[in-house]
Amino acid sequence: VNTLIRPDGAKKAYVRLTADYDALDVANK
């Protein structure tokens, strides 16, 4: 997604998003 191509701040946002996704995954299992 566009955030990946963007500078540092967007990269942090992406990492934060993946962390949230991970938590959701754990909750589902």
SS3 assignment for 1-29: CHHHHCCHHHHHHHHHHHHHHHHHHHHHC
Domain extent for 14:
1-29
Q: What is the pLDDT of residue 2?
A: 52
pLDDT tens per residue, range 1-29: 555 556 666 666 666 777 777 777 777 77
Q: What is the pLDDT of residue 9?
A: 63
Can you give the pTM of this predicted structure?
Answer: 0.29
Provide the domain count of the chain. Answer: 1
Residue length, the chain? Answer: 29
